[in-house]
Amino acid sequence: MERVALAFSGGLDTTVCVGLLEEEYGYDEVVGVTVDVGQPDEEFEEAEETADALGVEQYVVDAREEFATLCLDSLKANATYQGYPLGTALARPVIANAILETAKEHDCDAVAHGCTGKGNDQLRFEAVWRDSELDVIAPVRELELTREWEMEYAEERGLPVESGNEGDWSIDTNLWSRSVEGAKLEDPGYVPPEEIYEWTDAPGEAGEADLVEIEFEDGEPVAVDGEEYGPVELIEYLNDLAGAYGVGRTDMMEDRMLGLKVRENYEHPAATVLLNAHESLEGLVLTQEERDFKTQVDQQWSNKAYQGLIDAPLVGALEGFIDETQSRVTGTVTVKLEGGSARPVGRESEYAAYSEDAASFNTETVEGQNITQKDATGVAKYHGFQGRLANKVIDAQDKKTLATDGSGDGDE
């Protein structure tokens, strides 16, 4: 008996895949694996009901703690892609590993997913799976199925599926972010209705502004307003708190790995608060040179994470530098939640690379440094010296050229 472990959500794609894996690929048994990375309870209920209706043996793996820890670790690299926090990208390797382990535990011969051939997730799943000896099956991609074909297939067989919010949108939810795409949202000019949002209230509808204090240790958030939380609880708390102020909405054109440009809508309240707070604290404790270089390192780390390649050797090397910088990113940041924004308005750290005495306009000398305001005169004289010198040389050569070719004598 040949068995295949399918990444199973109970949605349209994976439900259709069950029949196709049996009919088109000849597998005797399909094992559904649903991985919990923070989806709503109703999604698990839907997956269970669908699995029962299809006669599929289903396993649910709780990976929330692992995923939440990865999300908080990603703060050290200020992980974003084209301006939005990485959520789905970070979740996929966690899900893929859980499915692979389940497949091995239950003696499966293959693993399968319901991704299309146009998205990123096929690559993220398979980057993990192709390091195993199991076959990798992608029915939707390999059979070149369209969503319309799948819906007709499901209707003909009476399969209990929906394709999102009453069939209108394609939605992916985890602890760190919620993405909404498809249908009318595929038109870049379409203004999305308020109904697509669930985590965030409309900006401006919240009451008075609120201040929240985030405490960091070695670059990771450990407490909110003085109360310590575990990774999952911290993210959930801030999602609720910041979401009420409309914080964390992104509507963008995203460049996928295959070169396609797609319209995406995201919600990420907790991620927005934590990323803004973390970067603000780095601004207090890191030197200018560290910050400038770390921007490049962060971008490389984020790009690999977006690709689902967080286990790549390059990532480990980048994390060596990142971890060294984070040893001083300890302190507190006060964030103001108001009208859809999460704005750092205060920060403190015992590692602050800052001297109030040196920066103040009311002091004449820098204590302990034997530096006075007058000492800046020499710096000011040399500042821009090379550029001024170069401009003089260029002007002199231009005048010399004009005099030589006679173009400045006024004759036609």
248-266 pLDDT, tens digit each: 999 999 999 999 999 999 9
Q: Are 122 and 148 in contact (CB under 8 A)?
A: no
- Does the global pTM surpass 0.85? yes
- DSSP string computed for 357-393: HHH-TT-SEETTTTEEGGGHHHHHHHTTHHHHHHHHH
User: Using CB atoms within 10 A of its CB, is residue 395 exposed (0-12), middle (13-18) or buried (19+)?
Assistant: exposed
Specify the 3-state DSSP secondary structure of 102. Answer: helix
Averaged pLDDT of the chain: 93
pLDDT at residue 372, as a whole number? 81
User: Cα–Cα distance between 151 and 156 in angstroms, integer?
Assistant: 9
What does the DSSP assignment read for 227-271? EE--HHHHHHHHHHHHHTTT--EEEEEEE-TTS-EEEEEEE-HHH
With cut-offs at 50, 70 and 90, classify the pLDDT of residue 363: low
Distance CA 274, CA 279 (A): 8
Phi-psi sector, 368: left (phi>0), alpha (psi -120 to 50), beta: left
pLDDT tens digits for range 202-255: 998 888 999 999 999 999 999 999 999 999 999 999 999 999 999 999 999 999
Dihedral angle, C-alpha 272, 275, 280, 281, nearest 10 °: 140
Q: Work out the number of other CB atoms within 10 angstroms of the CB of residue 215.
A: 20
pLDDT tens track for 42-100: 999 989 999 999 999 999 999 999 999 999 999 999 999 999 999 999 999 999 999 99
Q: Which of 138, 148, 113, 127 is nearest to 8 (CA)?
A: 113
Average pLDDT over residues 269-289: 98
pLDDT value of position 407: 58
Map tokens 């015992």 to a residue.
Answer: 350
Residue 221 DSSP symbol: E
- CB-neighbour burial class of residue 300 (10 A; exposed 0-12, middle 13-18, buried 19+): middle
pLDDT score, position 373: 82
Q: State the average pLDDT over residues 107-131.
A: 96
Tokens of 109: 């011969």
Band of pLDDT at residue 359, cut at 50, 70 and 90:
low
Q: Where are the alpha helices (DSSP H) in 286-384?
A: 288-306, 313-326, 356-359, 376-382
Confidence (pLDDT) at 147: 85
Give yes or no for residue 412 having a pLDDT over 60: no
Q: What is the pLDDT of residues 367-401, one digit of tens each?
A: 667 778 888 899 999 999 999 999 999 999 988 89
Backbone angles phi, psi at 9, to 5 degrees: -110, -15
Contact 242, 337 (CB under 8 A): yes
State what percent of residues in the chain have pLDDT above 70.
Answer: 94
The set of catalytic residues is 13, 92, 121, 170
Q: Of the ranges 13-22, 278-287, 370-379, which one carries the lowest mean pLDDT score?
A: 370-379
> Tokens for 273?
């608060």
Query: What are the φ and ψ backbone dihedral angles of 18, each rounded to 5 degrees?
Result: -60, -50
């109360």: which residue's tokens?
A: 227
pLDDT more than 90, % of the chain: 82
What's the average model confidence in pLDDT over 106-110? Answer: 97
The tokens of 305 are what? 């994470």
pLDDT of 164 above 50: no
pLDDT confidence of residue 222: 98
**Range with lowest mean pLDDT among 40-49, 284-293, 353-362, 394-403:** 353-362
Give the pLDDT confidence score for residue 183 in this predicted structure: 86
Asked if 20 and 46 count as a contact pair (C-beta separation under 8 A), the reply is: no
Which pLDDT does position 374 carry in this prediction? Answer: 85
Mean of the pLDDT values across residues 113-134?
Answer: 95
